[in-house]
Amino acid sequence: MRHLMLLLTCAVAAVMLGCVPSLHPLYTDNDLVFEPGLVGKWGKPNETDTWTFEKSGDKSYTLTTTDEGVPGKFEAHLARLGKHLFLDTYPVEPNFKNNFYKGHLMRVHYFWKVALKGDKLEISGLMPDWLKDMIGEKKITVRHETLPDDKGILLTASTKDLQALITKYANDPKAFGEKPDELRRVK
């Protein structure tokens, strides 16, 4: 049950921040950067949900999120693409005892445009409705699949193609939302 909550936490965070799942990461090893200022606990004022980043390697983090007190663990990487930083998160492998059930769950990458400004972390995901409209209008031809029951889009493009898409639209407020969410360092 706890592992199912991990997957639900990821899905809730993705919906709240507006982002699109991807089969492939947004980064290559050459794009990775480590920002020591990201390490720590982050949250919204007057809310209990948090995002806690811990150093996990030379250029990686372990991200633990809480959603209504339920934790979720992720591998997290910061990538510099052009002049922008992007956070790529990927859920840690759940430890289910039922391998048949576990085989039916797919771990995917989510990525966000981020800006670290002292004790403030601005974060904004790729807007699903914007992407759907751009694909529908044939303004974007990135590889993808439409999820059953029109539940969104799953990007299937290569890392190289994802990077081309993201860098092209990184400054478009419609692509990443008019105003990023703000997380503050929790003392």
Q: What is the pLDDT of residues 63-102, one digit of tens each?
A: 999 988 889 999 999 999 999 999 999 999 877 778 888 7
Distance CA 6, CA 92 (A): 9
With contact defined as beta carbons under 8 Å apart, do 26 and 159 qualify?
yes
| pTM, to two decimals | 0.87
pLDDT of 69 reads 85
Which spans in the chain are helix H? 2-17, 99-102, 128-136, 159-169, 173-176
Q: Residue 65 has which token pair?
A: 């999120």
Mean pLDDT of the chain: 88
Q: Which residue has the higher pLDDT, 156 or 3?
A: 156
- For residue 15, what are the domain limits? 2-185
Tell me how long the chain is: 187
pLDDT tens track for 18-30: 689 999 999 999 9
Distance CA 41, CA 182 (A): 13
Mean pLDDT across 43-65: 95
- In single-letter form, the type of residue at position 66 comes to T
| Total domains present in the chain | 1
List of residues 6+ apart from 161 with CB closer than 8 A: 142, 143
Q: How confident is the model at residue 139 (pLDDT cuts 50, 70, 90)?
A: very high
Residue 38 pLDDT > 70: yes
DSSP letter assigned to residue 117: E
With contact defined as beta carbons under 8 Å apart, do 63 and 51 qualify?
yes
